[in-house]
Amino acid sequence: MATSLDIVFAALADPTRREILHMLLEDDMAVTDVAEPFAMSLAAISKHLAILAAAGLISQEKRGRVKWCKLEPDALSAASVWMQSFGQFEPINLDAFEAFLTQELGTADAPASILEQ
């Protein structure tokens, strides 16, 4: 039996899906627009979105012929709580954050917005 934690962590394990979540942090998007920056087929992105939706990380609403995708960050709650039960690390560790940015995005600039809030 796959619990919600299985599904959420598995959804987060793919870099394409994490990038999609980051894009949706900006604004709701149609499936075609989500797919645009990626070098893969629309069908592949559609599958990724289905996986994110199954994990509850996004919701999808069809208006007309376009399906709008919306971030649902609350779905991270259970996973976040699970991780915090190990609690021996700082909630915001700037070193780790910078290391993450360097690895994941290839830069340590832009998202000052995240730190400011």
Residues that bind a copy of itself (CB under 8 A): 3-6, 9-10, 12-15, 18, 21, 25, 71, 73-74, 76-93, 96-97, 99-100, 103-104, 111, 114, 117
Q: Pick one of DNA, a copy of itself, none as the site partner of residue 30 (Cβ within 5 to 8 A by kind).
A: DNA
What burial letters (b/e) apply to 73-103, b meaning 16+ CB within 10 Å?
A: eebbeebeeeeeeeeeeeeeeeeeeeeebee
**Distance in angstroms (rounded) separating the CA atoms of residues 37 and 56:** 23
Bridge-partner residues for 63, per DSSP? Answer: 66
The reply to whether 47 sits near DNA by the rule CB under 7 A is yes
Taking the complex as a whole, how short is the minimal distance between the CB of residue 66 and a copy of itself, in angstroms? 24
Nearer to a copy of itself, 44 or 83 (CB): 83
**Cβ atoms 11, 18 nearer than 8 A:** no
- Candidates 23, 28, 51, 59: give the one binding DNA (CB under 7 A): 51
